[in-house]
């Protein structure tokens, strides 16, 4: 059960590979947070994964709480997912023509998320949110978008305004290269601050096409919606003729099978999906009310297309994964194992006398090195990221792979057992103590 890690911990091959990688890839990576800049140090290069475990190129074994940043709710290399992809690959990897798998996955998505009457598959969460906003603007004939500070909706121009996740860690929420005109159409407000949204509608009501929100924020670390926040957004959007977009790229199939909208009982007009819906292959999706989605080409005038959209391998992985989470008891198991982790981590921090505040919704969890509750971007940013960095490395050396940034969620999968959690909690206890002894 104890992950096998070299003593003393060493990652010589990862270090060599990272040196090479920097000759070829910007920062050595294809997505910024992977470079470990949020925690300093060298990223470990992964060779393989199985269940909740990953192995790096130096042979170190880790209990993985990143899960490819959310998609792997069934764990790494689940045999049923692997077999589905293998079978699909044997029949050809892409046709650029309709397939039965697209219809099947679409029906499964609609069954799980009933507010979706029509759905369009794309290749990433970024594409999903970008396209959803285009539809919202096309439907309403308005241009402004309301988002929330610390909310991350992918890297489309108009959404890189006070964005969380990577931009938050790097301290560059407003990226060069984003046209001022694109950012000017985006109003970013404090998460959980309903009066601010009401005031924005009073001021700009006739110009706001949509409110886009992570219904459980996950990209500034996990921050649950305050009571009444999502309901209030729904009412304001309806009253002012704007569309409510739930970006459930992270929360979809994660905080409940029907996503946050099922968990909180609030129905958006458009839902964005990604991550789990692709079972670890590149998939995003956006869907919603039929009259809204009828604006999408070829039914309607809003153009959006994709050479590899609905890719047969990706559809196969999505179908296999959604089959696995449909099994009775799946979400009860996730809840039980996740609350065991939350309680254990909180206890470890408390016993070591470390200021630590946990936020958890289902199998998404962030422990903030903060003295008080974290309810929005401002309080998230008060967390001690240097301390998180030291904790992160102490965990890595003990064979636990957490996100290399304070402002990310830990994801628990169906492959994490109570014994894996107990090992993690024991490692965390030692890592918390090491923080105060140092």
Ligand X SMILES: *Cc1c(COP(=O)(O)O)cnc(C)c1O
Binders of ligand X among residues 50 to 89 (CB under 6 A) are none
Applying CB under 6 A, the site for ligand X has a residue count of: 15
Active site residue 62: no
Kindly name the residue from 62, 65, 152, 401 that is annotated as catalytic. 152
Kindly name the residue from 149, 247, 384, 420 that is annotated as catalytic. 247
Query: Cβ distance 330 to 411 under 8 Å?
Result: no
H or E element: which one contains 316? helix 312-325
Binder of ligand X out of 60, 99, 129, 413 (CB under 6 A): 129
Does 153 sit near ligand X (CB under 6 A)?
yes
The residue assigned the tokens 């910007």 is: 26
Kindly name the residue from 56, 64, 269, 275 that is annotated as catalytic. 275
Does 149 sit near ligand X (CB under 6 A)?
no
Phi, psi for 259 (deg, rounded to 5)? 75, -170
The pattern of x and - marking residues 228 through 247 that bind ligand X according to CB under 6 A reads -------------------x
Active site residue 65: no
Binder of ligand X out of 38, 43, 51, 125 (CB under 6 A): 125
Active site residue 275: yes
Helix residue ranges per DSSP H, 287-417:
290-293, 312-325, 330-352, 377-381, 385-397
The residue assigned the tokens 């009401």 is: 198
- Residue among 370, 288, 385, 338 at smallest CA distance from 40: 385
The pattern of x and - marking residues 279 through 308 that bind ligand X according to CB under 6 A reads -----x------------------------
Does 120 sit near ligand X (CB under 6 A)?
no
Q: Which stretch binds ligand X (CB under 6 A): 3-11, 119-127, 258-266, 307-315?
A: 119-127
Query: Which of 315, 349 has the CB closer to ligand X?
Result: 315
Q: Which stretch binds ligand X (CB under 6 A): 101-109, 125-133, 234-242, 398-406?
A: 125-133
Residue 192 backbone zone (phi > 0: left; psi -120 to 50: alpha; other: beta)? left
Does 152 sit near ligand X (CB under 6 A)?
yes
Does 274 sit near ligand X (CB under 6 A)?
yes
Neighbours of 134 (CB within 10 A): 18
Does 424 sit near ligand X (CB under 6 A)?
no
Closest separation in Å from C-beta 258 to ligand X? 16
Does 215 sit near ligand X (CB under 6 A)?
no
Query: Cβ distance 218 to 177 under 8 Å?
Result: no
The residue assigned the tokens 């065991």 is: 340
Q: Where are the beta strands (DSSP E) in 353-436?
A: 357-361, 364-368, 400-401, 410-411
Phi, psi for 288 (deg, rounded to 5)? 170, -150
Number of DSSP helices (H) and strands (E) in the chain, helices first: 15, 14
Give the integer Cα–Cα distance in Å for 184 and 292: 25
Question: What are the residue numbers of the active site?
Answer: 152, 247, 275
Which residues would be at the binding site for ligand X (CB under 6 A)?
A: 124-126, 129, 152-154, 214, 218-219, 247, 249-250, 274, 284
């Amino acid at each position: 059960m104890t992950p096998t890690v070299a003593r003393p911990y060493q990652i010589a091959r990862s270090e060599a590979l990272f040196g090479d990688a920097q000759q070829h890839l910007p920062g050595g990576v294809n997505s910024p947070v992977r470079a470990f800049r949020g925690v300093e140090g060298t990223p470990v290069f992964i060779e393989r994964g199985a269940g909740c475990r990953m192995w790096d190129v130096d042979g170190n074994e880790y209990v993985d709480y990143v899960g490819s940043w959310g998609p792997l709710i069934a764990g790494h290399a689940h045999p049923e997912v692997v077999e589905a992809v293998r079978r699909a690959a044997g029949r050809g990897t892409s046709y650029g023509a309709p397939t039965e798998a697209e219809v099947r996955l679409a029906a499964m998505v609609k069954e799980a998320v009933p507010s979706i009457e029509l759905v369009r598959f794309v290749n990433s969460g970024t594409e999903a949110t970008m396209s959803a906003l285009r539809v919202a603007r096309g439907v309403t004939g308005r241009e402004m978008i309301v988002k929330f500070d610390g909310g991350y909706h992918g890297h489309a121009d108009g959404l890189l305004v006070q964005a969380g996740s990577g931009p938050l860690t790097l301290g560059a929420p407003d990226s060069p290269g984003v046209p001022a005109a694109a950012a000017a159409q985006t109003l970013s407000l404090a998460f959980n601050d309903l009066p601010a949204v009401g005031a924005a509608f009073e001021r700009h009501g006739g110009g706001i096409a949509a409110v886009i929100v992570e219904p459980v924020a996950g990209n500034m670390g996990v921050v649950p919606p305050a009571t009444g926040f999502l309901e209030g957004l729904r009412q304001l959007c309806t009253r002012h003729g704007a569309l409510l977009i739930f970006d459930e790229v992270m929360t979809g199939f994660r905080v409940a099978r029907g996503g946050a909208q099922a968990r909180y009982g609030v129905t958006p007009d458009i839902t964005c999906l990604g991550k789990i819906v692709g079972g670890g292959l590149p998939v995003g999706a956006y869907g919603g009310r039929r009259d809204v989605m009828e604006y999408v080409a070829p039914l309607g005038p809003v153009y959006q297309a994709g050479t590899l959209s609905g890719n047969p391998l990706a559809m196969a992985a999505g179908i296999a994964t959604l089959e696995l989470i449909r099994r009775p008891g799946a979400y009860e198991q996730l809840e039980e194992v996740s609350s065991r982790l939350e309680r254990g981590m909180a206890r470890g921090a408390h016993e070591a006398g470390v200021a630590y505040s946990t936020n958890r919704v289902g199998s998404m969890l962030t422990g903030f090195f903060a003295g008080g509750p974290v309810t929005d971007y401002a309080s998230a940013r008060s967390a001690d990221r240097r301390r998180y960095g030291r904790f992160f490395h102490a965990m890595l050396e003990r064979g636990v792979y957490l996100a290399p940034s304070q402002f990310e969620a830990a994801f628990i999968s169906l492959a994490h057992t109570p014994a894996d959690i107990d090992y993690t909690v024991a490692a965390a206890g030692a890592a918390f103590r090491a923080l105060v002894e140092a």
